[in-house]
Amino acid sequence: MVKKKKPGQEEPVGNKHDEPIDNKAYNNEEGDSGTEKQGNPPESETVTQSGNGPAQEVASSDKVVNGEKTSEEKLAEMQDRYIRLSAEFDNYRKRTLREKIELTKYAGENIILNILPVMDDFERAISLMDTATDREAMKRGIDLIYGKLTQFLQQNGVREIDSLNCDFNVDLHYAVSKTPVQEEDKKGKIVEVILKGYYLQDKVIRHSKVVIGE
């Protein structure tokens, strides 16, 4: 039997066959949503903190500072390097000074070794002077020794300064005296060489001692 709707009466929502609402479940869902709104922070904030946030940046910067050397360690390293360089330079200075002294002390070693044969020839000639009867042979022997000595000097860059009959030059000659001359072309020129002068390469190592005509 169908009930008739009375005037002014609202029809209930749903029908009699709808399932009753579970108030407990509804309350739980509402409570959970409320808890989410009040307690848990928003999802965006949670992501920011769990990602590359300020806390993680500070921790990474601390690691970088801890990995670098402190100023005390850098200063100690620089001092150690300075001490080592100073010791190496001192050893180098002493070694070069010792080598320079030895070089100066034994600089003429090769020259002496090359001139010793000439000295031997002179000693043999002197020893034969008292017993030798052939004067011409003695003269030839002395000339050979003189030629050998001259050759040795030339090989070492020593050469004679031309002086006789040359114009007087204060850079090359040393005038011992003057002598009157009859020839006009010899006035002011060197007429006699008392002591020969020599070059060593291009340097005058001994001036010629000469007499000048006037």
- C-alpha span between 192 and 34 (Å, rounded): 135
pLDDT band at 185; cut points 50, 70, 90: confident
Q: How confident is the model at residue 67 (pLDDT cuts 50, 70, 90)?
A: low
Asked if residue 50 has pLDDT above 50, the reply is: no
Chain-centroid distance, C-alpha 194: 54
**Helix or strand holding residue 149 (H, E):** helix 135-155
Integer Cα distance of 208 and 196 in angstroms: 5
Of the candidates 142, 159, 145, 163, the one whose C-alpha atom is nearest the C-alpha of residue 203 is: 159
Q: How far apart are CA 207 and CA 193, in angstroms?
A: 11
> How many Å separate Cα 51 from the centre of its chain?
53
The mean predicted confidence, pLDDT, of the chain is 75
Please give the average per-residue pLDDT across 26-51, as a whole number: 45
Q: Is the pLDDT assigned to residue 44 strictly greater than 70? A: no
What average pLDDT score do residues 103-117 get?
84
Whole-number Å distance between alpha carbons of 30 and 38:
12
3-state secondary structure (DSSP) of residue 198: strand
Q: Which residue ranges make up each domain of the chain?
A: 159-214
> According to the CATH classification, is domain 159-214 in 1.10.287.470?
no
Is the pLDDT at 153 greater than 50, yes or no? yes
Closest by CA position to 212, among listed 185, 182, 192: 192
164 bridge partner residues: none
Please tell me the predicted confidence (pLDDT) of residue 140. 87
Give the β-pairing of 173-179 and 208-213.
parallel
pLDDT for the residue 208 = 92
Residue, of 151 and 21, whose pLDDT is higher? 151
Tens digit of each residue's pLDDT (9 = 90 or more) over 113-147: 888 888 888 888 888 887 878 888 888 888 898 99
The pLDDT of residue 66: 53
**Do residues 173 and 192 make contact, with C-beta atoms less than 8 angstroms apart?**
no
Tell me: pLDDT of 27 over 70: no
**Once rounded to an integer, what is the mean pLDDT over residues 178-197?**
86
Roughly how many angstroms between the first and final C-alpha of the chain, as a whole number?
Answer: 179
- The yes-or-no verdict on residue 72 having pLDDT over 50 is yes
- Alpha carbons 154 and 114: distance in angstroms, whole number: 12
Give the SS3 label for residue 173: strand
User: Is the pLDDT assigned to residue 41 strictly greater than 50?
Assistant: no
